């Protein structure tokens, strides 16, 4: 009998369980473990997506399609910006109340890796998330803007402007290709550590938490898109992770 015909196991929403446990001293350790595991897992997801974004960018760069056009340049910039943002969001950005946060990896990096890491964060903060016109950021001056006037003689001085920005930066792309696998491996190791701790706590749950599990059951098909999608996700446990589209 195929997996698609077998009954699906039950799924419960651990984030919802954590919300119900919040503030209860008796379950503080389980509450914290759920929240930390969910945060690290989300950061792993960011880095996985950053990796596939770089693969898409490399594939685009190798293609002659629309090379030299503004639309090609805009697509390259969008992919580069997305990869840098995802990397920074997973490894450095600090969140305010209610935001996810990130996993610090600085203490585990070599000197060369730390240089790449800090450069990518600098690019995210000073070239992509904000504009520092004419100022050098990692890998160069990303924004050059001029408001000027041209003397047309009889009609006088006429104002105009120009904006010049990096659409693609080879040095930054090289940093991403070097650093994303490093960060992914470190954050994934942290996730495995958290998931082992959470597994031990879940298996030691008492009747009160089991009742909470029962109260937050959900239909996994709504998340994974189909019964087959659910089974593919469960199969991915053998390798530790999986990725797909719904």
pLDDT per residue over 100-156, tens digit each? 889 999 999 999 999 999 999 999 999 999 999 999 999 999 999 999 999 999 999
Residue 5 placed within a domain: no
Residue 96 placed within a domain: yes
- DSSP for 97-147 reads TTS------GGG--HHHHHHHHHHHHHIIIIISS--TT-EETTEE-EEEEE
Residue 223 placed within a domain: no
Q: Are strands 217-218 and 143-151 parallel, antiparallel or unpaired?
A: unpaired
Residue 154 placed within a domain: no
Give the domain extent around 96: 12-131+168-205
Residue 162 placed within a domain: no
Retrieve residue 234's tokens: 């469960």
pLDDT in tens, 22-68: 888 888 888 899 999 999 999 999 999 999 999 999 999 999 999 99
pLDDT in tens, 204-224: 766 667 788 899 999 999 999
Residue 218 placed within a domain: no
Residue 219 placed within a domain: no
Residue 240 placed within a domain: no
Calculate the average pLDDT of the chain. 91
Q: How many domains does the chain have?
A: 1
């Amino acid at each position: 009998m195929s997996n698609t015909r077998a009954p699906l196991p039950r799924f419960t929403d651990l984030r919802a369980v954590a919300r119900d446990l919040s503030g209860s001293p008796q379950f503080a350790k389980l509450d914290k473990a759920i929240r930390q595991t969910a945060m690290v897992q989300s950061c792993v997801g960011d880095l996985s997506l950053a990796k596939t974004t770089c693969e898409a960018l490399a594939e685009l760069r190798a293609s002659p399609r629309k090379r030299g056009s503004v639309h090609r340049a805009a697509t390259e910039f969008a992919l580069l910006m997305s990869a840098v943002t995802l990397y920074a969001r997973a490894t450095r950005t600090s969140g305010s109340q209610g935001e996810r946060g990130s996993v610090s990896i600085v203490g585990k990096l070599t000197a060369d890796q730390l240089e790449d890491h800090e450069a990518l964060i600098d690019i995210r903060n000073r070239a992509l998330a904000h504009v520092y016109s004419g100022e050098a950021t990692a890998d160069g001056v990303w924004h050059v803007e001029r408001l000027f006037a041209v003397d047309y003689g009889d009609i006088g001085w006429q104002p105009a402007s120009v904006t010049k920005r990096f659409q693609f930066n080879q040095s930054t792309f090289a940093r991403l290709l070097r650093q994303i696998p490093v960060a992914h491996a470190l954050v994934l190791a942290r996730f495995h550590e958290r998931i082992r701790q959470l597994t031990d706590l879940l298996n030691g749950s008492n009747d009160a938490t089991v009742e909470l599990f029962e109260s937050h059951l959900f239909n996994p098909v709504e998340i994974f898109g189909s019964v087959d999608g659910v089974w593919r996700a469960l199969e991915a446990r053998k390798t530790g992770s999986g990725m797909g589209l719904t």
